[in-house]
Structures are given as C-alpha cells and as structure tokens.
Structure 1
Amino acid sequence: NADDNSVSVHIRRGDYLSEPKDTPYQYYHCPIEYYTKAIEFFKLKFNTPSFYVFSNDIEWCRIHLGTERINYIDCNLGHNSWRDMCLMTKCRNHIVANSSFSWWGAWLSKHNGITVRPEKFLTNVENPDYYPESWILIE
C-alpha cells in the first residue's frame, strides 16, 4: 500500500533474544520504547497513518502495540518469509529494526517516504555507515 500514510514496522525478536551472550558480535535488541516513539512520530507527522507490522513474534507485537491503525501481517511464515520484505517495499514509510531484512525492505521501496531507525545495529561495535544519512534516528 503506497499511499502517503503507509508505514511498515519491522520488529525482530526470536534469534536476537536467544543468541548466546559470549558471541563476538551482539545484536542490539530494540526496546519497545523505540517502536512506540517511532509510531508516535508518524502519528504526529500524518493525520491517519496506517501501520503494517512484520515480525517473527506477532503475538508479542499485538500485546505491546495494540490495534489502533495497526495491521499485523502474519501469513508469511518459513520459506514464505520473503513475502514480508516484498510487502514492506510497497509501503511509503518505514520503521526499521536493526536487521538487514528490515534495512532492505526500506531501501528497496521505490516510494519517496520517511524511514526511521534505531541508534544501534550491534551493541558492541560502532558502525556509523550502516544507515543512510537521510534515515531519521529515534532514540
């Protein structure tokens, strides 16, 4: 849905939460506050934004994000997960997680919208060139 108010929201949990703590690179786990601030940003920006949530833990998202103008995409599982990225590219605006899947969903969108991003990709490594400069930081 490429209307001006469509916003993809990618929330990655699962493997990010179960990753052993002794691995050399620790993925940053975006807190719920990041997503609620990012959603509020778009609610202030647009009169009636429509949010499309993509996640490997939709039930957690439903509990923590509610239902106001939020559509949960929960039909693309397993080998069909690539369809989520395809649908993400159809949105005009994006709330990305620190995930390459999320990054590509926003980057491949042909719509000139707004993308917001978290402050970190990895917890223990600085990588300032990971996100395009035009993507808006939400802390």
Structure 2
Amino acid sequence: MGLGNFLYHWMWAASGRDGGLQRAVLRRSESDPWVSVFPAVADLLIDRRDVRLTDQRATAPMSNFGEDFTEDELATFVRERLLTAPLFADVAERVLASDQTDELVVHVRRGSYYQYPDLAQRYGMDTPSYVRLAVDQAAAERTIPSIRVLSNDLTWCRESLGWLASFSPVVHFGGAGTSAAEDFRDLAVARRLVLSNSTYSYWAGYVSNVLHEGNNNSEVWAPLFHMRGGRDWRSRHLDPTWRVVAELPNGWEDPDLSRDASVHSIL
C-alpha cells in the first residue's frame, strides 16, 4: 500500500468521526513515514493491541468517488488534515506561481508498477500514448509555456517522452524536491495536470482542486483505465468533472509488455 490508499482510509475515519462515529484505522509501519508528513492524521490511527474483540472491522477500499465519500467530505479532509502539514506551509505562494507560469505538470507512475511482473500485468498501460493524447488536448485549449514531468522513474521518462518538446519550448524532468512528498506537493499546487493511473496521482488532483477552489477541475486529465483483474478495469476514483481519457487509439496495452490472451480480450 502507498500514500493514496492510506489517504482513502484516513478520510473514511475522519469523515466518520465528523459524523459522530468512532472510526479508526489500524496503524501500519508502511504508513509511518507519511504520518510524519501529515501529522494531523495521527489521531485517526489505532495500534493493533488496542483493537477490541467487539470492534467492527471494515476492509473495503473506501475509494469510490461519490459513493464512498462526498466532494464535501473530501474537501474537508484535505483542508483539515493535509493542507495543515508543514509540507504545505508556503502553499499560497506556490499556487500563485503555478497560476502565473501556467505550467502543465505530468505525473508518470512507474516504480513497482513495472518492477514486478504481477503488478505490470495489472497496472501496466501505454503511458506514452495516453500522455500524448492528454497533452495534445491541453495544447489545443491554450499554449503550454512549459511542461514538468514528475515520476519515480525519470530516466524512463527522459528516454520515452522526449517528444514533449514538440508541445512546449521548455520541458523539465523532475521537480525542485528530492522526495515523494515534495513531488506530491508540486503536483498538488499545479493548475494544469495530467495524472496517471495511481491513487497517489488521484489525490494530487483532489488537493489541486481544493487549492484552486474548484476552478481548475476541467484542467485535470486522468486515464479511465486503472487496473486489470478486478470486476472492472475502469477507475472509480475519478472526479467526474475531470477530463477523462476514456480510450486510446490502440487500446491501453503497454506495447513493451507481453499479455496473455485473456487480458487482451478485456481491453
């Protein structure tokens, strides 16, 4: 599990408490670094030794937009639990700078999605084709003064997305920060975003919409594809006001990955 998954669980607990319910999320060692980044979520956690035999357990992902949480619950959680973090101490200046530069920020999720065959089979997609289509749509609406690519595999991005220079005279690979938390902040403050099929990315989009007071929802692009192997390959995490790329000319399959026939038949 990563940041995006943790945030859905923490929001579930926070919104429940706001409604008078006694909700808590089991503390996991993997989430501790992120609790340090967002200290306002700490009171939502419970240690396993403190869970009573009679406590009800909930195991659902709690991640379906408009079903598991409302837009208001999301905005409240973002304002009270995330934007209060030291990470966002200078957020007003960063948002203003983003508006002034009008930079398009592209997030590319690589890392474990492609390091492990089982995850590649589930999450792998034709990222270059998706990014090209989304950026082309953004460019058709207005000029793109600069593009910034944020990713956990910038080497791959430089090798595979060099053509972004045809859309903008300035292309940066990487941000000013050196951590996943700083990349998350840099994604979140951007007005114009191209997201990946990642809950980390979705949450950056959510926070961006709150920071820009709902005035940039139509400037956030996201792929409809999320993962294979479940009941539905379509993402149910997306804000319906985002610009959703529903299909690619040659399908979502990553041409660099071999798929079995059953996977091809799904997409």
> What's the TM-score, normalizing by structure 1?
0.83
Distance (whole Å) between structure 1 residues aligned to residue 154 and residue 196 of structure 2? 14
Greater Cα shift, 3-12 or 84-93: 3-12
Asked if 1:15 is matched to 2:112, the reply is yes
How much identity, in percent, do the aligned residues show?
A: 25
Distance (whole Å) between structure 2 residues aligned to residue 124 and residue 136 of structure 1? 25
Which segments of 5 or more consecutive residues in structure 1 lack a partner in the other structure?
none
- More strand by percentage: 1
Amino acid of the structure 2 residue aligned with 1:93: R
CA displacement at 1:41 relative to structure 2: 1.1
Matched positions, count:
135
Q: 1:13 to 1:63 in 2, by over 3 A?
A: same
Select 2:127's aligned residue among 26, 31, 38: 31
Asked if 1:136 is matched to 2:243, the reply is yes
Distance (whole Å) between structure 2 residues aligned to residue 8 and residue 72 of structure 1? 10
- More helix by percentage: 2
Aligned to 1:81: 180
Contact 1:30/1:98 (CA < 8 Å) preserved in 2? no
Distance (whole Å) between structure 1 residues aligned to residue 150 and residue 173 of structure 2? 7
Distance (whole Å) between structure 1 residues aligned to residue 175 and residue 103 of structure 2? 17
Contact 1:43/1:49 (CA < 8 Å) preserved in 2? no
Which segments of 5 or more consecutive residues in structure 2 lack a partner in the other structure?
1-96, 248-267
Greater Cα shift, 42-51 or 87-96: 42-51
Q: What is the aligned-residue RMSD (CA, Å)?
A: 2.2
Aligned to 1:6: 103
CA displacement at 1:91 relative to structure 2: 0.8
Contact 1:16/1:29 (CA < 8 Å) preserved in 2? no
Distance (whole Å) between structure 2 residues aligned to residue 128 and residue 88 of structure 1? 20
Greater Cα shift, 126-135 or 112-121: 126-135
Select 1:72's aligned residue among 149, 169, 173: 173
Aligned to 1:102: 201
Q: 1:18 to 1:48 in 2, by over 3 A?
A: closer
CA displacement at 1:28 relative to structure 2: 4.0
Q: Which structure has the bigger radius of gyration?
A: 2
Asked if 1:123 is matched to 2:239, the reply is no
Q: Which runs of 4+ in 1 moved over 6 A?
A: none
